[in-house]
Chains A and B, each alone.
Chain A
Amino acid sequence: KQEVTQIPAALSVPEGENLVLNCSFTDSAIYNLQWFRQDPGKGLTSLLLIQSSQREQTSGRLNASLDKSSGRSTLYIAASQPGDSATYLCAPRTPHDMRFGAGTRLTVKP
């Protein structure tokens, strides 16, 4: 069974900082890895999807990298804004399912 770990569990930064969220997983036989954002009391919004053959994926201020062989992914957020405050979840997908990490709760202070 895939085990997914996200570090740090919580992060509080001032507006404008660049930051990195980390995700590690135990089963490297993945098809892809998806990063989601979840606002309090809301559902999950997909941010980025990286295929197993890719090294990174970018969308605006977000950049996600994937090192499948070592079981790691990072989400880089550039020039953070208060609107980025949310919980960020990573989810590697194997041929059989998709498991989630516990998430990183991000707070960006104005």
Chain B
Amino acid sequence: DAGVIQSPRHEVTEMGQEVTLRCKPISGHNSLFWYRQTMMRGLELLIYFNNNVPIDDSGMPEDRFSAKMPNASFSTLKIQPSEPRDSAVYFCASSLAMGQPYGYTFGSGTRLTVV
């Protein structure tokens, strides 16, 4: 199994530009989670999906952030327009099922720098 795959690994963009981060969960996992990690705030849960449906997006910081999961094998996190304070490492994780005692598997993350 290739694990959770995130792309790109690194992204540098200018303030005001649109940024799209991508995630491919482990095949068969039907729960997907987006986290953001910064030195100041640690790991924060942004949003999670179950069976491609967003369940809780209360962690999404602002309307500039949006996430989609058009099918079971792909999800995107979009920031438009991006700001320097969005600079962080964004992780995607997947799990076999919500509401079940399964562990999470994390991707390698996307390091985003907004200048």
Q: A residues touching B (Cβ–Cβ < 8 Å)?
A: 31-32, 34, 36, 41-46, 49, 51-52, 89, 91, 93, 95-103
- Chain A residue numbers with a CB within 8 Å of B91 are 43-44
CB distance from A100 to the nearest CB of B (A): 4
In the complex the two chains form, what is the Cα distance from A73 to B68 in whole Å? 34
A96→B42 contact, CB < 8 A: no
Q: B residues touching A (Cβ–Cβ < 8 Å)?
A: 33, 35, 42-43, 45, 48, 55-56, 91, 93, 98-109, 111
B103→A89 contact, CB < 8 A: no
Which residue in chain A gives the minimum CB-CB distance to B48?
A: A97
- Chain A residue numbers with a CB within 8 Å of B105 are 46
- Chain A residue numbers with a CB within 8 Å of B45 are 97-99
Interface-centre pick from B45, B56, B93, B99 (highest chain A CB count, 10 A): B45
